[in-house]
Chains A and B, each alone.
Chain A
Amino acid sequence: MGTVTIPPFETFYAEHNSEVLGLLRRKVGRDRADDAFQETFLRALRAYDRLDHGEHLRAWVLTIASRVAIDVHRRTKPAGEMPELHHEDTRPAYEDLDELTDGLPAKERAAVVLRYGYDLTYDQIAAVLDSSPDAARQAASSGVRRLRKESQL
């Protein structure tokens, strides 16, 4: 048990939201700051009930914001980790993935398509799947493993 009690989320949000927005505007620019702001506080909200003490909450949320800013920059670069897929130019990547992943269990399929077809982050995928980012990452990677195994048969 920590010595500093964890305030209700409303109190935490009200205390830090303007500083977070300021940081994000500097790091990703005004246009992209609003989305990054939402993502920062959603990530915080997702982890908030797992915190075991209320110390360093400011540093904690500013760290989340910095990571979100890094993700924003990464997302706007050309996607280097897209799997090599044969597809016609007119078809979006996720359509190919749709067919390719047809045989996967539903959760793995969703994780693979969302990650590699829509380029969503694991946090976003976790929100879609209603699970944790770790579980989303695991679902995507076991989906990919299964696909590899199947293509070797």
Chain B
Amino acid sequence: MTVPTDLDLRFRETAARSGLLDVGYDLVDSPIGPLLLAATDRGLLRISFDPDLEQHLEWLSRIAGRNVLRAPRQVDGVRRELDEYFEGKRHAFDLVLDLRGVTPFTERVLMELARIPFGETATYAELAARAGSPKAARAVGMTMNRNRIPIVLPCHRVIGANGSLVGYAGGLERKVALLTLEGVLL
């Protein structure tokens, strides 16, 4: 016997309302493939392209607490803003982020990253300079590679000094798709 869908959803809804969850997540479709969205009561914790759910659950549980449950309600706001972004109706995100556990350097870089506007790009070196560490282009590259909240923190807008796309943790084809959506690439 399996639990009827409506009962299952009702529990997940109640759990999200109860304030007892450490993390609520959902798996959603997007034009660049399925996404995992995860949020805590502090804000958006994770966006991922990686389909390995079990690994995500373990990471979420380790970083924020073991009360991790698929609870669409917890990421309603994130889903809505992402939908608008993919429809071309939203150019800036208005979401609170949960950056617990990141180093001060990473946080500084991510805050600068968040300021690169829709449809524009910056190089790794430029971003390093804006974050106050002009020699740290390589470290900035690592930070982009480990970005926990891609799309919203737009690491796809960071490119090489010669204009090459360099790389993207979610796969280069996704970087191309996002930059195309934003009109940077044709």
Residues on A facing B (Cβ under 8 Å): 6-11, 13, 17-18, 21-22, 34, 37-38, 41-42, 45-46, 48-49, 127, 130
Contacts and interface: CB of A to CB of B under 8 A. Distances in A.
Interface in B147-181: none
B15 A45 contact: yes
B5 to A, nearest CB: 12
Nearest to B60: A8
Nearest to B56: A8
A13 B61 CA distance: 14
Given A10-B57, A11-B57, A49 B67 contact: yes
Contacts of B61: 7-8
Contacts of A18: 1-3
- A8, A22, A38 — which one has the most chain B CB atoms within 10 A of its CB? A8
Contact of A42 (B15, B57, B65, B70): B15
Contacts of B128: none
A20 B18 CA distance: 20
A5 B67 CA distance: 14
Interface residues of B, number: 25
A10 B19 contact: no
Given A8-B61, A9-B69, A49-B65, 19 more contacts: A7-B61, A8-B60, A9-B21, A9-B66, A10-B68, A11-B54, A11-B57, A21-B3, A22-B1, A37-B11, A38-B7, A41-B11, A42-B14, A42-B20, A45-B15, A45-B20, A45-B67, A48-B67, A130-B19
B14 A13 contact: no
Contacts of A34: 7, 10
B29 interface: no
Q: Which 8 A-B pairs have the closest CB atoms?
A: A8-B61, A8-B68, A8-B57, A45-B20, A17-B3, A9-B67, A10-B69, A18-B1
Given A18-B1, A18-B2, A41-B15, A8 B66 contact: yes
Instruction: Give the secondary structure class of A's interface.
Output: helix
Interface string B1-32: 11100011011001100111110000000000
B136 to A, nearest CB: 35
Contacts of B7: 21, 34, 37-38
Contacts of B60: 8
Nearest to A19: B1
Contacts of B70: 10
B58 interface: yes
Nearest to B25: A10
A51 to B, nearest CB: 8
A73 B85 CA distance: 51
28 contacts: A7-B57, A7-B61, A8-B60, A8-B61, A8-B68, A9-B67, A9-B68, A10-B57, A10-B68, A10-B69, A10-B70, A13-B69, A17-B3, A18-B1, A21-B1, A21-B3, A34-B7, A38-B7, A38-B10, A38-B14, A41-B15, A42-B11, A42-B14, A42-B20, A45-B67, A49-B65, A49-B67, A130-B19
A49 B7 CA distance: 24
